[in-house]
Amino acid sequence: MSVSEGMDVERVRASERAVLGQVRAIEVSRLETRRSAARLAQAWQGRTPRASSAETCPEGQASGRVVLRRIAS
């Protein structure tokens, strides 16, 4: 194998490593997105000890009042 062929092989391997690194980064990003979405959904349903959606979201407060009015009537 000549020197230039060896350099080409190394360049190809470096490119492969870079692509694999990007694929891993995308997979991690997708996983983090799914986890974030799950946390948001859980918080939105008021299952976390923090605050329920009705306490933190004006739309939730408004819909909560509508529900209370319906129950009261």
Could you tell me the pLDDT band of residue 19, with boundaries at 50, 70 and 90? very high
The residues, any chain, with a CB within 8 Å of residue 24's CB and separated by 6 or more, are none
d(CA 46, CA 21): 37
Judged by phi (left if over 0) then psi (alpha if -120 to 50, else beta), residue 46 lies in: left
The stretch 4-19 carries a mean pLDDT of 87
Q: Which domain holds residue 28?
A: 3-72
Count of structural domains within the chain: 1
pTM > 0.85: yes or no: no
Confidence check: pLDDT of 58 > 60: no
Quick check: 60 and 54 in contact, CB under 8 A?
yes
Confidence check: pLDDT of 56 > 60: no
